[in-house]
Structure 1
Amino acid sequence: MGLISGYSLWLIVLCIALGAAYAAVLYTGKKSNKWRPGIRSVLFILRFIVVSLLAFFLLEPLIRLNVKITNNPVLIVASDNSKSMTASADSDFVKNKLPEIVDQWLNGLQDELEIARYHFSDSLLAGPNADYSGNLTDIGNVFNEIRSRYINKNVAGIVLISDGIYNTGSNPLTAAEQIQTPVFTVAVGDTSTHTDAAITSLTGNRDVIYNNYFPVEFSVTAQQATGQSIQVKVTHNDKEIYNHNSDIQGNQFSRVFNIRGFADKKGLNKIVVSVSVLIGEKNTANNTRVFYFNVADDVKKVLIVASAPHPDIRAIRTSLESNLNYSVKAVTGEANAGDITDYDLLILHQIPAASTRNSALIEKAKAARIPVWMITGANTNYASLNALNAGVTVRVRSAAPNEVLGVLNENFSLFSVPQQEADFVKAMPPLSAAFGDYSISAGTDVLIYQRIGNVISSQPLLCMSQVEGQRWAFLLGEGVWRWKIYDFQRNNSHELFDSFMSRIAQFLCQNSDRSRFRVIYEPTHSETEAITFNAELFNQNFELVNSEPIDLILRDSTGKNYACSFLPDGSGYSLNCGRMRPGEYSFTAQVKSKQYPYTQSGRITVDSYNPELASTRADFNVLRLIAQQTGGIMVSPEKLNDISVFLEKNNLIQSTYYRENKYIDLLEWKWILFIILALVSAEWVIRKREGYY
Structure 2
Amino acid sequence: MSIVSEYPFWLIIFCIALGAIYASVLYTGKNSKKWHKNIRRLLFIIRFIAVTLLAFMLLEPFFKVNTKIKQKPILAVVTDNSASMVATKDSAFIKNELPKKISSFTKNVSKDINIEHYNFGDSIRIGQNYNFDNMFTDLGNSFIDLKNRYISKNLIGIVLFSDGIYNTGINPMLAAEQIHVPVFSVALGDTNIYTDVSISSLTSNRETVFNNYFPIEFSILATEAINENVQVNVFLNDKNIFSRDVLINEKSFSKIFNVNGFADKKGLNKIYVSVSSLQNEINKVNNSRTFYFNVNEDKKKILIVSNFPHPDVRALRQTLETNLNYDVKSVIDESNSGDIADYDLIIAHQIPSINRGSSTLLEKAKSANTPVWIIAGNKTNFKVLNALNAGISVRVRDASENKITAIVNEKFELFNIPQNEIDFVKSMPPLNSVFGEFSTSFGANILLWQKIGSIVSSQPLLSISQVGNQRWAFLLGDGIWRWRLYDYQRNKNFNLFNSFFSRIAQFLCQNSDRSRFRVIYEPTNYETENIKFSAELYNQNFELINSEIVELKLFSNSENYNFTFVPDGSGYSLNCGRLKSGEYNFTATVKSAKYPYSQSGKITIDDYNPEFAETKADFNLMNQIAMQTGGISVDIENLDEINKFLESKKLIQTSYIKEKKYIEIVDWKWILLIIILLVSIEWVVRKREGFY
CA contact (8 A) 1:198 1:220 kept: yes
Do the aligned partners of residues 273 and 335 (structure 1) sit closer, same or farther apart at CA in structure 2, a change above 3 Å counting? same
Q: Deviations over 1:284-326 (max 9, x none)?
A: 1111111111111132111222212222221122222222222
Correspondence for 1:295: 295
Residue type of the alignment partner of 1:592: K
Once the 2 structures are TM-superposed, how far is the Cα of residue 477 of structure 1 from its aligned partner?
Answer: 2.9
Residue type of the alignment partner of 1:619: D
Do the aligned partners of residues 378 and 76 (structure 1) sit closer, same or farther apart at CA in structure 2, a change above 3 Å counting? closer
Correspondence for 2:42: none
TM-score under structure 2 length normalisation: 0.79
% identity of equivalent residues: 57
Do the aligned partners of residues 345 and 75 (structure 1) sit closer, same or farther apart at CA in structure 2, a change above 3 Å counting? closer
Measure, in 2, the Cα distance between the counterparts of 1:90 and 1:237: 39
Do the aligned partners of residues 372 and 187 (structure 1) sit closer, same or farther apart at CA in structure 2, a change above 3 Å counting? closer
Correspondence for 1:606: 605
Residue type of the alignment partner of 1:253: F
Once the 2 structures are TM-superposed, how far is the Cα of residue 238 of structure 1 from its aligned partner?
Answer: 0.9
Residue type of the alignment partner of 1:214: F
* Alignment map for 1:236-385 (pairs within 5 Å): 236-385=236-385
Measure, in 2, the Cα distance between the counterparts of 1:587 and 1:218: 31
Correspondence for 2:522: 522
The range that moved more, 224-233 or 634-643, is: 634-643
Residue type of the alignment partner of 1:575: L
Once the 2 structures are TM-superposed, how far is the Cα of residue 159 of structure 1 from its aligned partner?
Answer: 2.1
Consecutive unaligned residues of structure 1, counting only runs of 5 or more, are 1-68, 659-693
CA contact (8 A) 2:80 2:161 kept: yes
CA contact (8 A) 2:171 2:491 kept: no
Do the aligned partners of residues 594 and 637 (structure 1) sit closer, same or farther apart at CA in structure 2, a change above 3 Å counting? same
Measure, in 1, the Cα distance between the counterparts of 2:457 and 2:656: 38
Correspondence for 1:189: 189
Measure, in 1, the Cα distance between the counterparts of 2:105 and 2:353: 68
Once the 2 structures are TM-superposed, how far is the Cα of residue 444 of structure 1 from its aligned partner?
Answer: 4.1
Do the aligned partners of residues 118 and 337 (structure 1) sit closer, same or farther apart at CA in structure 2, a change above 3 Å counting? closer
Measure, in 2, the Cα distance between the counterparts of 1:111 and 1:431: 43
The range that moved more, 278-287 or 458-467, is: 458-467
Correspondence for 2:39: none
Measure, in 1, the Cα distance between the counterparts of 2:298 and 2:339: 20
Correspondence for 2:465: 465
CA contact (8 A) 1:414 1:572 kept: no
Residue type of the alignment partner of 1:89: K
For the pair 1:513 / 2:513, whether they are aligned, the reply is: yes
Residue type of the alignment partner of 1:502: S
Measure, in 2, the Cα distance between the counterparts of 1:656 and 1:398: 37
Do the aligned partners of residues 186 and 525 (structure 1) sit closer, same or farther apart at CA in structure 2, a change above 3 Å counting? same
Q: Give 3-state SS (helix, strand or coil) of 2:576's partner.
A: strand
Correspondence for 2:95: 95
Do the aligned partners of residues 645 and 405 (structure 1) sit closer, same or farther apart at CA in structure 2, a change above 3 Å counting? closer
Correspondence for 2:687: none
Measure, in 1, the Cα distance between the counterparts of 2:256 and 2:595: 52
Q: Deviations over 1:468-506 (max 9, x none)?
A: 422222233332222222222233322222223222222
Measure, in 1, the Cα distance between the counterparts of 2:448 and 2:529: 23
Measure, in 2, the Cα distance between the counterparts of 1:97 and 1:408: 37
Residue type of the alignment partner of 2:582: G
Do the aligned partners of residues 574 and 218 (structure 1) sit closer, same or farther apart at CA in structure 2, a change above 3 Å counting? same
Measure, in 2, the Cα distance between the counterparts of 1:372 and 1:127: 43
Do the aligned partners of residues 305 and 99 (structure 1) sit closer, same or farther apart at CA in structure 2, a change above 3 Å counting? closer
Measure, in 2, the Cα distance between the counterparts of 1:490 and 1:114: 33
The range that moved more, 100-109 or 332-341, is: 100-109
Once the 2 structures are TM-superposed, how far is the Cα of residue 142 of structure 1 from its aligned partner?
Answer: 3.8
Once the 2 structures are TM-superposed, how far is the Cα of residue 379 of structure 1 from its aligned partner?
Answer: 4.1
Do the aligned partners of residues 153 and 356 (structure 1) sit closer, same or farther apart at CA in structure 2, a change above 3 Å counting? closer
Measure, in 1, the Cα distance between the counterparts of 2:652 and 2:460: 47
The range that moved more, 499-508 or 146-155, is: 146-155
CA contact (8 A) 1:414 1:570 kept: no
The range that moved more, 356-365 or 580-589, is: 356-365
Measure, in 2, the Cα distance between the counterparts of 1:387 and 1:656: 52
Do the aligned partners of residues 132 and 463 (structure 1) sit closer, same or farther apart at CA in structure 2, a change above 3 Å counting? closer
Q: Give 3-state SS (helix, strand or coil) of 1:185's partner.
A: strand
Q: Give 3-state SS (helix, strand or coil) of 1:485's partner.
A: helix
Correspondence for 1:629: 628
For the pair 1:173 / 2:183, whether they are aligned, the reply is: no
Do the aligned partners of residues 247 and 457 (structure 1) sit closer, same or farther apart at CA in structure 2, a change above 3 Å counting? closer
For the pair 1:576 / 2:575, whether they are aligned, the reply is: yes
Measure, in 2, the Cα distance between the counterparts of 1:345 and 1:111: 61
Residue type of the alignment partner of 1:244: R
* Alignment map for 1:424-463 (pairs within 5 Å): 424-442=424-442, 444-463=444-463
Once the 2 structures are TM-superposed, how far is the Cα of residue 591 of structure 1 from its aligned partner?
Answer: 1.6
Correspondence for 1:52: none
For the pair 1:478 / 2:483, whether they are aligned, the reply is: no
Measure, in 2, the Cα distance between the counterparts of 1:536 and 1:608: 30
Measure, in 2, the Cα distance between the counterparts of 1:349 and 1:448: 18
Do the aligned partners of residues 295 and 229 (structure 1) sit closer, same or farther apart at CA in structure 2, a change above 3 Å counting? same
Once the 2 structures are TM-superposed, how far is the Cα of residue 654 of structure 1 from its aligned partner?
Answer: 5.3
Consecutive unaligned residues of structure 2, counting only runs of 5 or more, are 1-68, 658-692
Measure, in 1, the Cα distance between the counterparts of 2:401 and 2:153: 37
Q: Deviations over 1:541-575 (max 9, x none)?
A: 111111222221221233x2022221111111111
CA contact (8 A) 2:581 2:607 kept: yes
Once the 2 structures are TM-superposed, how far is the Cα of residue 110 of structure 1 from its aligned partner?
Answer: 6.8
* Alignment map for 1:389-408 (pairs within 5 Å): 389-408=389-408
CA contact (8 A) 1:413 1:572 kept: no
Correspondence for 1:36: none
Residue type of the alignment partner of 2:490: R
* Alignment map for 1:142-221 (pairs within 5 Å): 142-151=142-151, 153-155=153-155, 157-221=157-221
Measure, in 1, the Cα distance between the counterparts of 2:457 and 2:654: 39
Higher Cα Rg: structure 1 or 2? 1
Measure, in 2, the Cα distance between the counterparts of 1:657 and 1:354: 47
CA contact (8 A) 1:344 1:370 kept: yes
Q: Deviations over 1:54-94 (max 9, x none)?
A: xxxxxxxxxxxxxxx99975443322222111212222332
Measure, in 2, the Cα distance between the counterparts of 1:437 and 1:111: 46
Measure, in 1, the Cα distance between the counterparts of 2:511 and 2:108: 65
Do the aligned partners of residues 437 and 185 (structure 1) sit closer, same or farther apart at CA in structure 2, a change above 3 Å counting? closer
Once the 2 structures are TM-superposed, how far is the Cα of residue 152 of structure 1 from its aligned partner?
Answer: 5.1
CA contact (8 A) 2:191 2:618 kept: yes
CA contact (8 A) 2:148 2:454 kept: no
Measure, in 2, the Cα distance between the counterparts of 1:485 and 1:562: 44
Residue type of the alignment partner of 2:309: P
Correspondence for 2:619: 620
CA contact (8 A) 1:413 1:570 kept: no
Measure, in 2, the Cα distance between the counterparts of 1:144 and 1:377: 27
For the pair 1:136 / 2:136, whether they are aligned, the reply is: yes
CA contact (8 A) 2:122 2:420 kept: no
Q: Deviations over 1:271-291 (max 9, x none)?
A: 111111112111111111111
Measure, in 1, the Cα distance between the counterparts of 2:71 and 2:223: 52
Once the 2 structures are TM-superposed, how far is the Cα of residue 156 of structure 1 from its aligned partner?
Answer: 5.2
Measure, in 2, the Cα distance between the counterparts of 1:107 and 1:443: 51
CA contact (8 A) 2:413 2:532 kept: no
CA contact (8 A) 1:81 1:130 kept: yes
Do the aligned partners of residues 101 and 466 (structure 1) sit closer, same or farther apart at CA in structure 2, a change above 3 Å counting? closer
CA contact (8 A) 1:416 1:534 kept: no
Do the aligned partners of residues 442 and 636 (structure 1) sit closer, same or farther apart at CA in structure 2, a change above 3 Å counting? closer
Measure, in 1, the Cα distance between the counterparts of 2:145 and 2:172: 12
Residue type of the alignment partner of 2:495: E
Once the 2 structures are TM-superposed, how far is the Cα of residue 391 of structure 1 from its aligned partner?
Answer: 3.1
Measure, in 2, the Cα distance between the counterparts of 1:351 and 1:109: 59
CA contact (8 A) 1:233 1:274 kept: yes
CA RMSD of aligned residues (A): 2.7
Correspondence for 2:548: 548
Correspondence for 2:47: none
Q: Give 3-state SS (helix, strand or coil) of 1:474's partner.
A: strand
